Amino acid sequence: MPSSSSRPGNRLQLLHPNASILLLPLLTALSLSLSSCATLKKPGPQPEVVSLDPAPSGALADVSREIHKRGGTVQSGFHLLERNDEGLAWRLALADHAQSSIDAQYFIWQGDEAGQLLLHRLIAAADRGVRVRILVDDLTLAGDDRAIATLCHHPNVDIKIFNPGFVRRGLFAPLVEFLIYFKELNRRMHNKLFVADNRMAIVGGRNIGNEYFGLSEKYNFRDLDVLVAGPLVPDISEAFDEYWNSEHAFPGKELSRAAKAKDLPKLRRRFARDMEKNRPLLAASPYPLERKDWSRDLRALPAKMHAGEAHMIQDEPVTHQGEQRRLVDTLDYLAAPSHEELLVVTPYLLPVGTFLEDLAKLSSEGVDVKILTGSMGSNNHTVAHSHYKKYRRPLIKTGATLREFKHQPTASVRAITDVPPATGKFVSLHTKTLVGDRTRCFIGSLNLDPRAIILNTENGLLIDSPGLSKELAARIDDWSTPENAWQVTVDDRKRLRWESSEGTVTIQPARSFGQRISDFFFQFLPIESQL
């Protein structure tokens, strides 16, 4: 993949010699569009900035020291964040108690109630002297360039954008740029982590937005993170630094040359107005609108945490000629030693490479392989499901047990997914995890599809912890019951059957007839490699 240094210089060097003729009309249109659209300029060399040392004092340091006392210099503490309200509450708690630094890295950061609330707390932390660094992928970035650049003038706030398009405004020109630089711009940063004081961290599947924290009326995700304290946290901070200092991390201050420090008060007033608009929903939710003392929760945390050893793993932020480090390559560590059981949970399932053969080998060796993925009804991207469905029979043929999560699960699952007063119209599976023999697990951002395994960058934790793994496996068992999931089988007449507490059907469950129509047409789109 070309490095960012090739943009926006000699653009034709990336094209086939004949492509300049074929694309001449598009390039002409692009040139005309650029005269009226803002474009980024490649910044000069950026100074390397690394994580601060662990904070010497404070509530987060106290938790970390307690974990060190219990587990020594090797074992860390882990707490599952299954409930959506816990997912946001613990991020707010870490932000509210941070004393020296906060580092946040996400694929999506929406400008809705949840996104605004967390940003509000990060700015409040920066106001009291905490260094805040935010790294967000550019593909679905919420917020305009000038606001981001203005916020970077705060003395304690720095924002970077991963792999941005250089054409920032207009309708036609950004599309043309994406088509010309498709291979480069198609690689997105799907990583997710949050670190406070280099003492505690959150890693997992949640982005920042209402549906990840139970506040959406459209749908809410059944998702998963893990809260970490102890000797592993500096490794997570180092993983963040690798992306922060990569050539693809574009400095937010360079997004707009018009942004000035004097614009900060005006931007703050705008944020205050946005928070006021969001107040009705947030005030009715359990999330505190302003900084809160979470000391009691933090003091109680070490006793709830499972001890274990873990490794932070991630893809390289920049690809090079030849070999590159891919997260998925290390997952053999989890699957290969499994002797009794392998649990796989993924919202999007499109087998890549030898995945089917590997499952069949595990099954033939007596390993009980259980897969939980989304039904069509619970899938927020119907197009992904439309291409997954042709793999149902091959997956079942491997000997694995295949279940699909219901979009209307039990009241107990809804209770940990929706956060009052919000109630989503359906529940969508978004958890990405694997558990081997109920002794070790992976929790992270990795879906089992081509985009995650081949195109995007991903991260996650490989954790050796029987206590945590058993708890996680019990959660998966609950999500997989006949009340919460359909078991997909093939009958004697080679027909697919969906069996659950609702009975047995031979037509895949869906949310509506309209979704079935979309599913029918989506299956013919030749885009599986991009899903």
Q: Residue type for 499, please?
A: E
Domain that holds residue 481: 326-530
Q: Is residue 153 part of a domain?
A: yes
In percent, the amount of the chain with pLDDT more than 90 equals: 79
Q: Is residue 60 part of a domain?
A: no
Q: Is residue 5 part of a domain?
A: no
Q: What is the mean pLDDT of residues 155-170?
A: 91
330 and 196 assigned to the same domain:
no
**Is 13 in a helix, a strand, or coil?**
helix
Q: Is residue 496 part of a domain?
A: yes
Q: For residue 35, with 0-12 CB atoms within 10 Å meaning exposed, 13-18 middle and 19 or more buried, which class applies?
A: exposed
pLDDT tens digits, residue range 7-22? 433 222 223 333 334 4
Cβ 270 vs Cβ 115: under 8 Å: no
Q: Is residue 61 part of a domain?
A: no
343 and 270 assigned to the same domain:
no
Q: What is the mean pLDDT of residues 451-475?
A: 96
Minimum mean pLDDT range among 123-137, 167-181, 437-451, 501-515: 167-181
- Residue 308 dihedral angles phi and psi, to the nearest 5°: 180, 165
252 and 338 assigned to the same domain:
no
Letter string b/e over residues 443-471, b meaning 16 or more CB atoms within 10 A of that residue's CB: bbbbbbbbbbbebbbbbbbbbbbeebbeb
Does the pLDDT at position 37 exceed 60?
Answer: no
Q: Kindly give, in sequence order, each residue whose CB lies less than 8 Å from that of residue 58, ignoring residues fewer than 6 positions away.
A: 97, 98, 99, 197, 199
334 and 216 assigned to the same domain:
no
Does the pLDDT at position 335 exceed 90?
Answer: no
- Residue 213 dihedral angles phi and psi, to the nearest 5°: -125, 25
Alpha-carbon distance of 208 to 115, in angstroms, equals: 6
Does the pLDDT at position 4 exceed 80?
Answer: no
Helix, strand counts (H, E) of the chain? 19, 20
pLDDT tens digits, residue range 353-372? 889 998 999 999 999 999 99
**Is 414 in a helix, a strand, or coil?**
helix
| Tokens 């969508």 -> residue | 428
Whole-number pLDDT of residue 11: 29
351 and 497 assigned to the same domain:
yes
296 and 330 assigned to the same domain:
no
Q: Residue type for 174, please?
A: P
Q: Kindly give, in sequence order, each residue whose CB lies less than 8 Å from that of residue 250, ignoring residues fewer than 6 positions away.
A: 4, 40, 43, 138, 160, 161, 162, 163, 164
With CA atoms as reference, report the closest residue to 419 among 88, 48, 17, 51: 88
Q: Is residue 467 part of a domain?
A: yes
Q: What is the mean pLDDT of residues 196-216?
A: 98
509 and 461 assigned to the same domain:
yes
| Tokens 């009975």 -> residue | 503
361 and 298 assigned to the same domain:
no
Enclosing H/E stretch for 428: strand 426-429
Enclosing H/E stretch for 297: helix 295-304
149 and 225 assigned to the same domain:
yes
pLDDT tens digits, residue range 277-323? 999 999 999 999 999 999 999 999 999 999 999 999 999 997 654 44
Kindly report the CATH number assigned to the domain that includes residue 266.
3.30.870.10
* CA-to-CA dists, residue 261 to 43, 235, 257, angstroms: 19, 34, 11
pLDDT tens digits, residue range 163-203? 998 888 777 777 888 888 888 888 999 999 999 999 999 99
Whole-number pLDDT of residue 14: 29
350 and 453 assigned to the same domain:
yes
Cβ 449 vs Cβ 350: under 8 Å: yes
Identify which has the larger pLDDT, 35 or 201.
201
Q: Is residue 319 part of a domain?
A: no
Minimum mean pLDDT range among 59-68, 139-148, 462-471, 483-492: 139-148
pLDDT tens digits, residue range 469-527? 999 999 999 999 999 999 999 998 989 999 999 999 999 999 999 999 999 999 999 99
197 and 336 assigned to the same domain:
no
If phi over 0 gives left and psi between -120 and 50 gives alpha, with beta otherwise, what is residue 436? beta
- Residue 85 dihedral angles phi and psi, to the nearest 5°: -65, -35
Total count of domains within the chain: 2
281 and 167 assigned to the same domain:
yes
Whole-number pLDDT of residue 45: 87
Q: Is residue 40 part of a domain?
A: no
Whole-number pLDDT of residue 20: 38
